[in-house]
Amino acid sequence: MLKLPIYLDNNATTPMDPRVLETMTPFFLEHFGNAASRNHAFGWEAEGAVDMAREQVAKLIGADAKEIIFTSGATEADNLAIKGVFEMYASKGNHIITVTTEHKAVLDTCKHLEKLGAEITYLSVNSEGLIDLQELEAAMKPTTILVAVMYANNETGTIQPVKEISAIAKKHGALFFTDATQAVGKIPVNVLQDGIDIMAFSAHKMYGPKGIGALYVRRKNPRVKVTAQIDGGGHERGMRSGTLNVPGIVGFGKACELCRLEMEEEIKRISKLRDKLETELLKLEEAYVNGSRQQRLPHVSNISFKYVEGEGLMMGFNKNIALSSGSACTSASLEPSYVLKALGLGDDLAHSSLRFGLGRFTTEEQIDYTIKAISDTVLKLREMSPLWEMYKEGIDLNTIEWAHH
Amino acid sequence: MAYSEKVIDHYQNPKNVGTLDKNQKNVGTGLVGAPECGDVMRLQIEVNADGMITDAKFKTFGCGSAIASSSLATEWLKGKSVDQALKIDNMDIVEELNLPPVKIHCSVLAEDAIKAAINDYRTKNGMEAIQFDESVVH
């Protein structure tokens, strides 16, 4: 029997793998020590567990354990990376390059720094969501201290050419930071091969617990430093003070290990399911995939169903299927997704989009159900849509003088 | 956000979905909203010689509340005189459907669509269009 509701919003968060929870439990109950307690067994146990987890996390991304700074999540890691570099390298320059499709944790941090004297260049993306490397190169200045480009986009799954980006940053003496929250654990990410200097990621996007994330900070070639944003006991090599979330860290470590061991098989399984979903849904008329279909995460698909509105569409099945829409009909501004708009989508198409995020626990049966539920709802709503009727009558919607609200 | 039972019911069983012949003199059509705003509502009324609304149809591109607001509006329009129809207030729709504050916009759209349909009917039949005050909530 198919169990409802079906969860297809894994880009927002993932359920925890039971194997992860199992490793965490003892660190709430028996081994509850403070990892900073250096003079008794409870502290040593906790410290030992953190050391092991740090190794597991580092191994997943090809880093050294000493290069992992634990944070409360990717948002904090993004903040620490960008603000930390801005403060640490102020004598070198104040210019940061980023992209319009970044997560708000990066964009809002950059906006904050602008008020403090930073000069920020926001690169645009093409219709596939990819940046133009020549544009990046042209934007580099002697004062550029940081290039911040996300590894893979949270809405479309589009993967940026990180190797090329890091090479350009290096050539101009700038550091390369990437928010890899959606990518780590899903596809092979290797900080050495990719030339990443600083990288943010989070456990709850890879079947680990919420409230724990990490910042990778390179220690060699070059040795990177960030100014702490939280002061206190000097934990995490002085870069992030605060008592370590030992159970969270242990869970994060286990989650990383599982991703590393199972990734290859999982990519095959999940991309097959995603492709089935996409192929079937694209059989509907006027349905389009947003973002690159080649350079993309294996579990993500963002589709616009023209002439139906995303929220109205979701209402047709949101009791049984959980996913996300690029429409923001609930907000006062009615603004659709800025990421989709940055790809050049009109507001109408952005309002008509659904984001599918498949995960480790997604089954083929669930995908079959989803295909049918969405297809049926799209067809039903199109019958109810004045835009669909006009389209079918051959009326060019651009010629209509709309009453803007 | 949880939808009210009535919104869900109108969404699942919308009343009076369809199209009336906009070229007929006794049909008034109101098309409001814009695709880029995420909602477009088309309300149509058919009026008899006595000024009574004998039929109403809608088609809506939008969220569940927009669909429910327009479905409810067509139900209310049928059987009313044009003058009575003019008195339908968006807040009546909000109340009936129990719309949350962020969805009041949908009810305003429905009220505007009613007014637009009536004015279309009026101008087609040699009457002057009524000047409405700009709705407050948009």
Residue pLDDT, tens place only, A245-275: 999 999 999 999 999 999 999 999 999 999 9
Greater confidence, A228 or A1?
A228
Is the pLDDT score of A104 beyond 60? yes
Distance (Å) of CA B5 to CA A27, A206, B10, B39, B67: 45, 36, 9, 21, 14
Q: Which residues contact A94 (CB under 8 A, 6 or more apart)?
A: A86, A117, A118, A119, A143, A145
Percent of chain A's residues with pLDDT above 90? 92
Q: Does B112 touch chain A (CB under 8 A)?
A: yes
Among the listed residues B66, B106, B109, B116, the single catalytic one is B106
ipTM here: 0.93
Whether A405 and B36 lie within 8 Å, measured CB to CB: no
Q: Does A354 touch chain B (CB under 8 A)?
A: no
| Chain B residues inside the 8 Å CB shell of A327 | 38, 63
Interface test with A, best of B20, B29, B63 (most A CBs within 10 A): B63
- Report the number of secondary-structure helices (H) and strands (E) in chain B: 5, 3
Q: Does B115 touch chain A (CB under 8 A)?
A: no
Is the pLDDT score of A132 beyond 60? yes
* pLDDT at res. A329: 62
List the 12-31 stretch of B: residues with Cβ below 8 A of A: 14, 17, 19, 31
| Chain A residues inside the 8 Å CB shell of B36 | 346-348, 351, 402, 404
Distance (Å) of CA A209 to CA A53, A146, A252, A263, B37: 13, 30, 7, 19, 37
Q: How many CB atoms lie within 10 A of CB B119?
A: 19
* pLDDT at res. A228: 97
Cα–Cα distance, A106 to A121 (Å, whole number): 13
Is the pLDDT score of A332 beyond 60? no
Among candidates A135, A141, A66, which has minimal Cα distance to A149? A135
Residues of chain B with pLDDT below 50 are: 136-138
Cα–Cα distance, A196 to A146 (Å, whole number): 11
Percent of chain A's residues with pLDDT above 70? 98
Amino acid in position A308: V
How many CA atoms are closer than 13 Å to the CA of A94, on its beta-carbon side?
Answer: 7
* pLDDT at res. B136: 47
* pLDDT at res. A405: 54
Whether A336 and B19 lie within 8 Å, measured CB to CB: no
Whether A309 and B63 lie within 8 Å, measured CB to CB: yes
Q: How many CB pairs under 8 A join A and B?
A: 104
CB A86 within 8 A of CB A94: yes
Quickly state the pLDDT bin for A398 (edges 50, 70, 90). Answer: confident
* pLDDT at res. B137: 45
* pLDDT at res. A187: 98
Residue pLDDT, tens place only, A144-196: 999 999 999 999 999 999 999 999 999 999 999 999 999 999 999 999 999 99
